[in-house]
Structure 1
Amino acid sequence: MAVKKSSQVHLSPEHMGLARIDETAPGCLELASQMLQDNHDKYHMYFRDVAGHNHIPHSILSVIAMGGGPKELRRAYDDGTAIQRPLPPVDTQAVQDLKDPEKFMAKMLVLDGYTTFLAFFEQEIDLKGWKAVVNEYCFSRTPLAEALLSQLFEGLYHPIIHLGFGIEFDQPSIVAEALAHAASHDPGNIDQFFLRSEKLARSGSVKSKPLAELYTEVRDNEKIRGAARLQDGPFRGQGVLKRAMDELISVAAQFQVLPEDLERGTAEMMSCGAYTGAAQKAGKARKIDFFYMHLVTCSISLDVIMRQSWIMTKDKIRLLEWKGRLDLVWYAANGSAQMRAEDVIEYKPTLSKGMDWRGMYKAALNIHDDGHVVKFIRALKNGENVVRPFERSQNAASFPVTGDMWFKMAQICYDSTVNIGEENPNELSKKWVWGAGFEPAWMKIPDLESL
């Protein structure tokens, strides 16, 4: 029986990731490929039933892109494996059933269906090629493609982040994982938000506005601001949509991208998403919000997708608009935190003092966590690269994060996460603030005076 290519991981020097600074040491691609293969063959996409995604591929591929060596790769792999669950069994009959779009849709949204969807997408990719499969199952505008496209953004963007890594590193196995991830993920009911926002935008009844202005509209809307609940926990995105769907749609529909503005729109999304790093609290130690962080880590995946010649412009525009609109939802879901640019611009670094981007990369690669730190820092560097050409444009006000603010936020991230959880992994959550727009979330963060 022939080995399926789509179930095999083979990293190559032709696809080494964006925002690179240093070259990867000899032997690292082979080591990383084996680690990714082990993850693919052994571990579930969900290490727990609620808000528990497997980040091993994200972590390892970030290390590769950032020039890490064998030590850093082993650190990334070991930090991720301890909590993982084994793959559920494949339902072989269901794999065949999934060829029927109606049966496919009927079996979606069940976490333990992941392995069955994975086997199905591997078959499809072996037959058609991974680019054709992505186009068919995400962009063909069929009912199934519409459902799967929306699901890519579920779980705080995790399936589309995963897809971005698969495309960036040209790995069919990781593309298959991402599509299976989207198909099996439990729903947060963002599909209606996407489709209704899109319908309103296309109606011609609302004008386009810069994304930065829409963040302000979200914060100034009392109904939206009052709809956020800290007690919603990881489901806070669903909660704010449940309580203020119409109001969020009215704002989000104003983010509209023309074909000729695709590059500018991508940069705008990146800069505005990164501005949530300025969601700080007067008198408190500087922290990055865990939820807002994902607006940034997902941005590099969108940039990867925007660079693909095999994806049609209309589909790129749709993805970009959906990403910008969902960013507004997650901004609202965390209490529409006040952005304090001065806390970033005037930040006095501690452990990262004197570092440049190369030093930052090298230091961050040694931090023990599940990949969030390195993903965030590389995405900031990529954002700096993408936004730079627009900083002095006629619409410069649409880009709230420019210049050395990108590196300052990387320093805040590094200084506020390094050493936390080194002795006790149960304290890893203390690396972040968990709801920057909510007063109680800051009560657990040290005062600046105590540092």
Structure 2
Amino acid sequence: MSPRTTELDRFFPLPSEAPSNKAPVRLAGFSHKSGEALAKVLQDNHIKWHAFFNDLGFHNHASHHLVAIYALGANSTLVEAAYQTHVEYMRPAFESPEPVNATNVWKHLGKREFYNSYLEFFRDLLLKRDVTAVLEEYIFSAKANIGGSDTEGQPRMLNRFFAALVHPMIHTGNGLEIGMLGLVAEGLAQAATHGDDGDRLIPPSLFESQSTSAPSAVARLTALLPSLTLSADPSANGKAPVGGKKAGIHAFTALARILADPRFAPAALGLPIPQGQSHIDRVQTHVGEALIDIVAEWAAELEGDDVSAVVIAKKIEEVAWLNALIYGVGGWGGRQRSQNKEFNADFFSMHLVTSSIFLPSLVAYLSPRSATILLRGYFTFSLAWYIGRGRPVIPVRAFYEGTTDKLVPPGEPQVAPADTTLTPEDVSPNPWLPIIESTLVHPSEHLCKLQRALLHNATVYGARGAGEFAGTELEGAELLDGTLFIRAAGLTANAIGWLKEGQKAREWDRSGFY
């Protein structure tokens, strides 16, 4: 075995356990053999193919697809077959114009042709340093965002981490969740070669007040987060929690205020935008300051260096619900009735759901201060995308009246159940099982990510009952319960197609809600 192969094996070992029990569970079905297949194809993808498969900067999604189906229980044959669907359109890896090192690391930011040099740079760093130290220095530090005496300009690495529908965050989160530093290196290299979208949406003051006590804080957060049992209390808006800090507004209250404010209406922002322009830039130009103010109210509990793991977990849950609500209820409320569409499976909003499941794995490696910066930035970009897609209505009551949590896959059962079956009329006693079976073999790399994310939300938040969100300002919030996620998953399966059951594949919606 060559030294190079040995080194790459260190970057792509067999999948390890997730760093937090708030991370998605892995369904039975995976095996040692499928883990070997996953490591093999991810290493092959790392060596052979570029992160962007065309000149427009479209992303190589192979690792997202493969990790998702592995975690859903795919066997080795399916893992390898899924990889081959990506090989056919990939761009071969190529050398960058010059190497990247500690001296010129900020010089080539945003240049896709420097991806391979950044990949080599971060790979070398991760061989020498702890992943926490690398993330803290190159994504969350003041130097990596607002610059310093030895840095030209403002790198804004956190903005780049959230750029292009948060793809660098998704990629890095995948690596942290399954313990593959090769994916972490790829995610960081992607961040470095993306633009600094929303450069005015993350206030520089977030980095100016950073503490220097990160190492001990990292140990405290990593130790506490996995063992948390969170009790939601969204009705505590404005009340002082333990410790004397003022509670921030709930994410649903922030959403309600955006819905009620005419400044955020599509017409006021000049939406839809011409092709080639940025949704995020349009939002920050017209309503950036108003959005920052709302985010600051939501983030009140995240101020200071003494933020508890309980508060961080509470805020993670809020954004998970928020993004599922935007995608599911927003996609149903904003469906194109003129085309008799049951649901708009919005391609952009879908990424908000798929990215949210990596927050637990990310914060497990961060100091509380950096975790709060991550959450505040992520929440900002989630709302910015919601506004930029046209601020779809969120008709909670109508959604619950017009959708079901009793999923019926297309086609009749080939064999009638025996009369002694407990509920012979119930085609899907556990509605998630047919969804996962169909999703595993669907060629859409985004469908498996979305259904996995909704399944994860249902696993950790599915027991929430109606009434738990009654204290927020969102109309109909008192009706929300844990069935939100299976309702959204069923609508998605119908919209994208049940291929295993004989339907044809359909596309995600990209028309927006204007």
Deviates more, 1:329-338 or 1:240-249: 240-249
Q: Are the structure 2 counterparts of residues 324 and 179 from structure 1 closer, same or farther at C-alpha, using a change threshold of 3 Å?
A: same
CA RMSD of aligned residues (A): 3.2
Deviates more, 1:114-123 or 1:256-265: 256-265
Larger radius of gyration: 2
Q: Are the structure 2 counterparts of residues 395 and 286 from structure 1 closer, same or farther at C-alpha, using a change threshold of 3 Å?
A: closer
CA distance in 2, matches of 1:7, 1:90: 24
Q: Paired residue for 2:293?
A: 250
Q: Paired residue for 1:448?
A: none
Q: Paired residue for 1:192?
A: 200
How far apart are residue 395 of structure 1 and its match? 5.2
Work out which of the residue numbers 283, 295, 318 in structure 1 matches 2:352.
295
Q: State yes or no: 1:366 paired with 2:441.
A: yes
Deviations 1:313-351 (A, max 9, x none): 121111111111211101100110001333355325553
Report if the CA contact (8 A) 2:57-2:112 is conserved.
no
Q: Are the structure 2 counterparts of residues 264 and 390 from structure 1 closer, same or farther at C-alpha, using a change threshold of 3 Å?
A: farther
Secondary structure of 1:230's match? Answer: coil
CA distance in 1, matches of 2:468, 2:392: 28
Q: Paired residue for 1:124?
A: 125
Q: Paired residue for 2:454?
A: 380
Q: Are the structure 2 counterparts of residues 29 and 373 from structure 1 closer, same or farther at C-alpha, using a change threshold of 3 Å?
A: same
Q: State yes or no: 1:332 paired with 2:375.
A: no
Report if the CA contact (8 A) 1:19-1:378 is conserved.
no
Q: Paired residue for 2:403?
A: 347
**Unaligned ranges ≥5, structure 1:** 439-451
Q: State yes or no: 1:230 paired with 2:235.
A: no
How far apart are residue 64 of structure 1 and its match? 0.8
Report if the CA contact (8 A) 1:295-1:327 is conserved.
yes
CA distance in 1, matches of 2:191, 2:9: 17
Q: Are the structure 2 counterparts of residues 175 and 128 from structure 1 closer, same or farther at C-alpha, using a change threshold of 3 Å?
A: same
Secondary structure of 2:403's match? Answer: coil
CA distance in 1, matches of 2:75, 2:67: 12
How far apart are residue 32 of structure 1 and its match? 1.3
**Unaligned ranges ≥5, structure 2:** 148-154, 211-245, 411-426
Pairing 1:171-182 to 2, within 5 Å after superposition: 171-182=180-191
Secondary structure of 2:248's match? Answer: coil
CA distance in 2, matches of 1:250, 1:207: 15
Instruction: Give the alignment's TM-score, normalised by structure 1.
Output: 0.84
Pairing 1:1-400 to 2, within 5 Å after superposition: 2-3=3-4, 4-5=7-8, 8-12=11-15, 14-15=17-18, 18-50=24-56, 52-91=58-97, 93-95=98-100, 98-100=101-103, 103-143=104-144, 147-188=156-197, 190-195=198-203, 208-225=248-265, 226-227=268-269, 229-233=271-275, 235-256=278-299, 257-258=301-302, 259-260=307-308, 261-276=311-326, 277-279=328-330, 280=332, 281=334, 283=337, 284-306=341-363, 308=364, 310-341=365-396, 342-343=398-399, 346-348=402-404, 349-351=407-409, 354=428, 356-369=431-444, 371-388=445-462, 397=471, 400=477
Q: Paired residue for 1:443?
A: none
CA distance in 2, matches of 1:230, 1:170: 40
CA distance in 2, matches of 1:200, 1:127: 28
Report if the CA contact (8 A) 2:119-2:185 is conserved.
yes
Q: Percent identity?
A: 22
CA distance in 1, matches of 2:61, 2:298: 30
Q: Are the structure 2 counterparts of residues 199 and 77 from structure 1 closer, same or farther at C-alpha, using a change threshold of 3 Å?
A: closer
CA distance in 2, matches of 1:200, 1:278: 38
CA distance in 1, matches of 2:449, 2:466: 27
How far apart are residue 25 of structure 1 and its match? 3.5
Report if the CA contact (8 A) 2:462-2:482 is conserved.
yes
Deviates more, 1:157-166 or 1:315-324: 315-324
CA distance in 2, matches of 1:50, 1:223: 32
Q: Are the structure 2 counterparts of residues 292 and 345 from structure 1 closer, same or farther at C-alpha, using a change threshold of 3 Å?
A: farther
CA distance in 1, matches of 2:270, 2:209: 24
Report if the CA contact (8 A) 2:464-2:482 is conserved.
no
Q: Are the structure 2 counterparts of residues 160 and 13 from structure 1 closer, same or farther at C-alpha, using a change threshold of 3 Å?
A: closer
Which amino acid in the other structure matches residue 278 of structure 1? V
Report if the CA contact (8 A) 2:141-2:207 is conserved.
no
Report if the CA contact (8 A) 2:345-2:509 is conserved.
yes
Secondary structure of 1:434's match? Answer: coil
Instruction: Give the alignment's TM-score, normalised by structure 2.
Output: 0.74
How far apart are residue 410 of structure 1 and its match? 0.9
Q: Are the structure 2 counterparts of residues 7 and 114 from structure 1 closer, same or farther at C-alpha, using a change threshold of 3 Å?
A: farther
Which amino acid in the other structure matches residue 287 of structure 2? A
Report if the CA contact (8 A) 1:166-1:174 is conserved.
yes
Deviates more, 1:134-143 or 1:15-24: 15-24
CA distance in 2, matches of 1:5, 1:129: 17
CA distance in 2, matches of 1:59, 1:303: 20
Deviates more, 1:388-397 or 1:263-272: 388-397
Q: Are the structure 2 counterparts of residues 393 and 339 from structure 1 closer, same or farther at C-alpha, using a change threshold of 3 Å?
A: closer
Report if the CA contact (8 A) 2:69-2:448 is conserved.
yes
CA distance in 1, matches of 2:117, 2:494: 42
CA distance in 1, matches of 2:436, 2:58: 26
Which amino acid in the other structure matches residue 56 of structure 1? A
Report if the CA contact (8 A) 1:224-1:248 is conserved.
no
Instruction: Give the helix-richer structure, 1 or 2.
Output: 1
Q: Are the structure 2 counterparts of residues 51 and 340 from structure 1 closer, same or farther at C-alpha, using a change threshold of 3 Å?
A: farther
Deviations 1:32-78 (A, max 9, x none): 11111111011111112335111100100001110011343134212
How far apart are residue 148 of structure 1 and its match? 1.8
